[in-house]
Amino acid sequence: MNTDRMKTNWTSTNCLPAARLAFTLGLAFCLASTAAVPVLIAQPFARKPFAGQTRGPAQRIVHGRVEDKSGAGIKGAVVYLKDDRSSQVKSAIADDDGGYRFVQLSLNTDYELWAQVESKRSPTKSISSFDSKPDITITLKIDQ
């Protein structure tokens, strides 16, 4: 901790000498009008997270298009996303352009992704937990 900076903060806030202990704890009692007012001195005490720490769970987004063999989007195709850990399956309906989107997915889980329209199905695509990209785009092709 930089003590010169603390001294600068101490003197620049015109705090009473009796409040020196409170200052070392992050509070300084300064004279404002006729009352002693606590002032939070955050700058010398601000800390960055340790290496490897994150702010909340890491999440992934998987999105893309469902297309026919000519590359046109297939409206209304059902896109399935299977969590290989729990075997839970989520589904989404492709929009007017064949677009789909799955959000708030774990980076630490493997997934399988495929699309289906009527009796036709796309090949299954795998998403590995070893792939650390938080945003994955996958085009699913269905031969119609």
Mean pLDDT for the stretch of residues 53-65: 79
More confident residue, 112 or 9: 112
Confidence of residue 52 (pLDDT cuts 50, 70, 90): low
Number of domains in the chain: 2
Whichever domain contains 121, its CATH number is 2.60.40.10
- Band the pLDDT of 61: cuts 50, 70, 90: very high
Q: Are residues 66 and 106 in the same domain?
A: yes
Q: Which residues lie across from 93 on neighbouring strands?
A: 78
Range of the domain at 18: 3-45
Residue 95 lies in a domain: yes
Once rounded to an integer, what is the mean pLDDT over residues 45-71? 74
Q: What number is the average pLDDT over the span 125-134?
A: 95
Residue 58's pLDDT is 78
Domain match, 41 and 64 both: no
Residues 27 and 76 in one domain: no
Share of the chain above pLDDT 70, in %: 60
Q: Are residues 65 and 95 in the same domain?
A: yes
Residue 44 pLDDT: 46
Region 24-32 average pLDDT: 45
Give the end-to-end CA distance of the chain in Å, rounded to a whole number.
Answer: 67
One DSSP character per residue, the chain reads: --HHHHHHHHHHTTB-GGGHHHHHTTEEEEEETTEEEEEE--GGG--PPPTT--SS--EEEEEEEEE-TTS-B-TT-EEEEEETTT--EEEEE--TTSEEEEEEEETTS-EEEEEEETTEEPPPEEE-TT---SEEEEEEE---
The answer to whether 79 and 86 are in contact (CB under 8 A) is: no
Same domain, 64 and 128: yes
Q: What is the pLDDT of residue 57?
A: 62
Residue 51 lies in a domain: no
Looking at the fold, whether 23 and 71 belong to one and the same domain comes out as no
